[in-house]
């Protein structure tokens, strides 16, 4: 156990170091990179990925994966937009439904993986496609838009994106969600069981713990993150287009991996995930501040992901060698 703790700690320090190095690099090379405006952009463009990644950390710690994150977030936003624009639902109700819908789909993922024993990769791949299709079906393949600042419900943007004076309120919600998930993962039974399942599912089962329940819970928590993420996404970007969103899950998963959570399960950290999210966001804004076109962002994110996982693999190997020597 000490070994794993050390491992996570190490990865986090490395990730944190990388964050600082990347930030300093752009501070020197970027245009106005250290300005308040850019800093606010770094925070603002991390909102929705942050919620997705924090939620996904739970599933990934169980040794699972959720490929439906991006498509589900869009489907949930499209559903909210359709209810708001076409059915005239009040905005607050749309938001509640968006979160409940995403949690419900998370539950469905959980049932597919636990009760029906589908491999998480396949189960959530299927959900991803269903969500892409569903988003188009409920909106009749037309894009939906949330209230703009010119409409009476424009408070939505001020409350969930940034205030009129430019304060990034979304960052506050992200921190609150981080603190809550942090407590759940590190201080409660849910978290302990989720780690235990990721480490050795069979042992947990044999000790009489309801694996399906706790594992399913991880998927529901992920769904919660996605639902909240869809609200922040809608407030930030206003317009939601059907048949988009696949690819966003990979950003979220990349952030989780950069933060030191192992894709084979049992090891992980939300602090790391948050660092991962900011690394990606700094990369995104930094490369634009250097006036480099968008494809470079994807390119360099790929390099960071590979670098992060390489370090992880290398340290795992070292740790295993140490164990062998000791044994």
Partner 1 sequence: MKKAKRLLSVLLVLTMVVMLFAGCGTKEEETEYYSVIAKGFQHQFWQVVKKGSEQAAADLGVEIFFTGPEGESAIATQVDMINAELAKNPKAIALAALSTESVLSQLQEAADKGIPVIGFDSGVPNAPAGQISANASTDNENAAGLGAEHMYEAIKADIAAASVSSPVIVVILSQDATSASVTGRSKGFAEKMYALITADGQSAAITGDFAAITTGDVANSAVNVKIVVGATPDITDMTNAASGVLNTDNLLGVFCSNEGAVNGLLAAVNAGSTLGADVKVVGFDAGAGQKAAVRGGTFMGSITQDPFAIGYKAVELAVKAANGEAVSDVDTGAKWYDASNMDEPDIAQLLYD
Residue span binding partner 1 (CB under 8 A) among the ranges 94-102, 128-136, 212-220, 239-247? 239-247
**Distance of alpha carbon 66 from the chain centroid:** 10
Site string for partner 1, 138-177 (x = CB under 8 A): -----x-x--xxx------x---x---------x---x--
| Contact flags string 290-309 toward partner 1, x per CB under 8 A | -x-xxx--------------
Which residue, among 173, 58, 175, has the nearest Cα to 106 in the 3D structure?
58
Task: Among 285, 301, 304, 305, indicate the residue that binds partner 1 (CB under 8 A).
Answer: 285
The span from the CA of 83 to the CA of 26, in Å, is 42
3-state class percentages of the chain: helix first, strand second, coil last, to nearest 5: 75, 0, 20
Min separation Cβ 215 and partner 1, Å: 25
* Under 8 Å between Cβ of 272 and 262: no
Q: Which positions from 5 through 44 interact with partner 1, judged by CB under 8 A?
A: 5-6, 9, 12-13, 16, 19-20, 23, 31-32, 34-44
DSSP SS3 for 145 = strand
What Rg, from alpha-carbon coordinates, does the chain have?
A: 20
Closer to partner 1 by Cβ: residue 218 or 248:
248
Looking at 200, 244, 246, 316, which residue binds partner 1 (CB under 8 A)?
244
Binding of partner 1 by 45 (CB under 8 A) = yes
Please say whether the beta carbons of 291 and 269 come within 8 A. no
Q: How far is the CB of 299 from partner 1 (least distance, A)?
A: 12
Q: Does residue 320 belong to the site contacting partner 1 (CB under 8 A)? A: no
b/e sequence 10-34, b meaning 16+ C-beta within 10 Å? ebbebbbebbeebbeebeeebeebe
Least CB distance to partner 1 at residue 308 (A) = 16
Q: What are the start-end ranges of the E strands in 39-150?
A: 144-145
- 50-109 binders of partner 1 (CB under 8 A): none
Sorted by sequence, the CB contacts under 8 Å of residue 201 that are 6+ apart come out as 63, 211
Q: Cα-flanking dihedrals φ and ψ of residue 240, to 5°?
A: -120, 125
Which of 200, 212, 243, 316 touches partner 1 by CB under 8 A?
243
Q: How many whole angstroms separate alpha carbon 65 and alpha carbon 263?
A: 8
Nearest CA-CA partner of 161 in 178, 151, 173: 173
- Only one of the segments 55-63, 93-101, 105-113, 271-279 lies at the binding site for partner 1 (rule: CB under 8 A); that segment is 271-279
Footprint on this chain of partner 1 (rule: CB under 8 A): 2, 5-6, 9, 12-13, 16, 19-20, 23, 31-32, 34-45, 143, 145, 148-150, 157, 161, 171, 175, 233, 236-239, 241, 243-244, 271, 274-275, 278, 284-285, 288-289, 291, 293-295
């Amino acid at each position: 156990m000490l070994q794993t703790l050390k491992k996570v700690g190490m990865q986090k320090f490395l990730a944190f170091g990388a964050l600082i190095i990347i930030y300093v690099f752009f501070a020197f090379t970027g245009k106005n990179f250290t300005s308040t405006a850019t800093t606010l952009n770094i925070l603002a463009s991390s909102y929705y990925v942050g919620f997705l990644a924090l939620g996904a950390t739970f599933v990934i710690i169980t040794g699972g994966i959720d490929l439906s994150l991006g498509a589900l977030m869009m489907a949930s936003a499209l559903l909210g937009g359709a209810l708001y624009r076409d059915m005239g639902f009040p905005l607050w109700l749309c938001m509640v439904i968006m979160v409940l819908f995403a949690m419900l789909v998370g539950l469905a993922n959980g049932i597919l993986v636990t009760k029906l024993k589908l491999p998480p990769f396949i189960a959530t791949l299927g959900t991803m496609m269903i969500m892409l299709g569903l988003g188009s079906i409920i909106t009749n393949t037309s894009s939906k838009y949330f209230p703009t600042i010119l409409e009476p419900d424009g408070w939505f943007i001020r409350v969930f994106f940034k205030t009129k004076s430019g304060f990034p309120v979304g960052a506050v919600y992200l921190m609150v969600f981080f603190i809550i998930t942090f407590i759940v993962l590190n201080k409660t039974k849910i978290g302990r069981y989720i780690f235990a399942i990721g480490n050795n599912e069979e042992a947990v089962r044999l000790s009489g713990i309801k694996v399906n329940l706790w594992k399913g819970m991880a998927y529901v928590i992920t769904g919660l993150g996605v639902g909240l993420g869809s609200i922040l996404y809608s407030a930030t970007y206003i317009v939601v287009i059907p048949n988009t969103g696949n690819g966003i899950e990979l950003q979220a998963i990349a952030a989780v991996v950069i933060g030191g959570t192992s894709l084979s399960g049992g090891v992980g950290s939300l602090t790391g995930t948050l660092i991962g999210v900011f690394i990606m966001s700094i990369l995104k804004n930094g490369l634009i501040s250097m006036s480099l076109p968008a494809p470079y962002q994807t390119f360099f994110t790929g390099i960071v992901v590979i670098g992060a996982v390489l370090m992880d693999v290398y340290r795992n190997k070292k740790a295993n060698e140490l164990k062998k020597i000791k044994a």
